[in-house]
């Protein structure tokens, strides 16, 4: 299989590429990424050396039709998995425009190019956030693939829009595509604006940990390797036109997660700082992945506490990666945001 992975220099895409190269010896992977602030070449250090002739990198923008077509043609692409996106909710609140460009226009450009190139499979990596928010009370059932799309942030609105375009390209043009909707990922190589690495790096430096609102918002955590296995199953076995939810079966409040991080670091809870809530902050996510279990054989392998411990240990053991990811303009942005 000659596979195009878009957004492969990001957190999940880079873990996915490593998995495919390791577990599918016949696969050739082209990674197309425009190296936005979240794209990090260090996430794929050594893959060209470790998998000679099986990995190629193209710096290109999914919203640029000529670039997208050119990459598909040059690499004789047969299937595509799209991870490329602006992915951070807080940034979408500050400025929605890049989200429209990459997450909506970019996906439509890829769909059009995939049709022209007659790809055999297109996987759109979406998110559980398109379903909106659940109340905290457990009697409200988890999201299924039939739950209505009620996005609350500009980020989730852009992802829901892309999902609707994917549906339309399947119905109208018969493009053989699958949509996946996963809950919150954690694991190695996550950009440090997201809750777990963000709190870990701050705790290690004895910096205050800004917890939004009352800290009781709940996320359904899944290890990135479990998500990537699910995406690979959807690529290889998914029914054309289907949507598959993936979740970790691990609903935890933000305060719980932050306390676990502090325990791992041997730091005191006095570092926790309640701050103003995120506008439009979704209260709870919980994902019903029984369709993916029945049709694809998916189930998450990691327990949350063990997965978290291994993830934090990975960050501790990879100081060069951490220095690269937490220096430069990113750190400047964060210092400004918290008035430091
Ligand atoms: P990330 O921000 O770490 O990585 C995104 C990557 O896409 C970066 O390498 C960036 O350079 C690239 N990119 C952005 N715009 C691009 C463009 N126009 N052209 C080419 N490349 C571009 O994101 P992530 O956390 O790895 O998420 C990957 C995908 O998975 C996203 O689509 C996101 O919506 C989805 N998702 C994420 C999570 C999560 O918990 N992180 C959960 C469910 C779904
Ligand atoms: O559910 C899947 C989604 O998970 C993905 O689609 C998104 O790309 C990904 O960013 C993630 O979205 P969240 O908004 O849930 O993730 P984030 O890490 O930004 O925040 C997780 C929770 O922690 C959320 O309730 C907000 C809270 N939070 C976050 C930060 C960065 C804080 O309390 N303080 C913080 O400083």
For the Cβ of 200 lying below 6 angstroms from any atom of ligand 2, the answer is no
Q: For residue range 266-313, list pLDDT tens digits in order.
A: 999 999 999 999 999 999 999 999 999 999 999 999 999 999 999 999
For the Cβ of 156 lying below 6 angstroms from any atom of ligand 2, the answer is no
Give the ligand whose atoms come closest to the C-alpha of residue 196: 2
Give the ligand whose atoms come closest to the C-alpha of residue 197: 2
Name the region of 76 (left: φ>0; alpha: ψ -120 to 50; beta: rest).
Answer: left
For the Cβ of 180 lying below 6 angstroms from any atom of ligand 2, the answer is no
* Nearby residues of 172 by Cβ (< 8 Å), 6 or more positions away: none
Q: What distances in angstroms separate CA 183 from CA 18, 148, 176, 273, one per listed residue? A: 21, 16, 24, 25
DSSP code at position 143: B
DSSP code at position 156: H
Rounded distance from Cα 149 to ligand 1 centre (Å):
20
Q: Which CATH number fits domain 2-337: 3.20.20.70, 3.40.50.720, 2.40.10.120, 3.40.50.300?
A: 3.40.50.720
Rounded distance from Cα 51 to ligand 1 centre (Å):
24
Q: Answer with the residue of higher pLDDT: 325 or 88.
A: 88
For the Cβ of 260 lying below 6 angstroms from any atom of ligand 2, the answer is no
Residue 138: the pLDDT is 85
Q: For residue range 160-195, list pLDDT tens digits in order.
A: 999 999 999 999 999 999 999 999 999 999 999 999
User: Any catalytic annotation for residue 155?
Assistant: yes
Q: What distances in angstroms separate CA 60 from CA 33, 51, 130, one per listed residue? A: 5, 22, 27
For the Cβ of 285 lying below 6 angstroms from any atom of ligand 2, the answer is yes
The single residue of 155, 186, 285, 315 carrying the catalytic annotation is 155
Ligand 1 atom 10, closest CA: 39
Region 15-29: mean pLDDT is: 98
Residue 324: the pLDDT is 87
């Amino acid at each position: 299989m000659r596979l195009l992975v878009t957004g492969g220099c990001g957190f999940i895409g880079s873990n996915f590429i490593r998995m495919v190269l390791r577990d599918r010896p016949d696969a050739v992977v082209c990674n197309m990424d425009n190296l936005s602030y979240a794209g990090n070449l260090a996430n794929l250090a050594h893959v060209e050396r470790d998998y000679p002739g099986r990995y190629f990198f193209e710096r290109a923008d999914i919203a640029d039709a000529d670039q997208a077509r050119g990459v598909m043609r040059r690499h004789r692409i047969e299937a595509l998995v799209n991870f490329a996106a602006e992915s951070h909710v807080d940034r979408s609140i500050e400025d929605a425009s890049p989200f429209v460009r990459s997450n909506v226009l970019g996906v439509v450009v890829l769909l059009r190019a995939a049709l022209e190139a007659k790809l055999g499979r297109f996987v759109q990596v979406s998110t559980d956030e398109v379903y909106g928010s659940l109340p905290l009370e457990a009697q409200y059932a988890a999201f299924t693939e039939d739950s209505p799309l009620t996005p609350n942030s500009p980020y989730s609105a852009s992802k829901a829009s892309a999902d609707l375009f994917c549906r339309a390209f399947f119905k109208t043009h018969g493009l053989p595509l699958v949509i996946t909707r996963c809950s919150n990922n954690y694991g190695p190589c996550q950009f440090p604006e997201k809750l777990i690495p963000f709190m870990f790096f701050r705790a290690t430096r004895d910096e205050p940990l800004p917890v939004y609102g009352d800290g009781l918002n709940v996320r359904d955590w899944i290890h990135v390797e479990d998500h990537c296995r699910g995406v690979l199953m959807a690529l290889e076995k998914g029914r054309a036109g289907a949507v598959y939810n993936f979740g970790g079966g691990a609903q935890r409040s933000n305060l719980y997660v932050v306390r676990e991080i502090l325990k791992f670091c041997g730091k005191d809870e006095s570092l926790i700082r309640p701050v103003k809530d995120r506008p439009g902050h979704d209260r709870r996510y919980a994902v019903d992945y029984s369709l993916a279990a029945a049709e694809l054989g998916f189930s998450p392998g990691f327990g949350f506490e063990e997965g978290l411990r291994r993830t934090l240990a990975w960050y501790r053991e990879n100081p060069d990666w951490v220095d690269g990811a937490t220096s430069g303009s990113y750190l400047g942005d964060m210092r400004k945001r918290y008035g430091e």
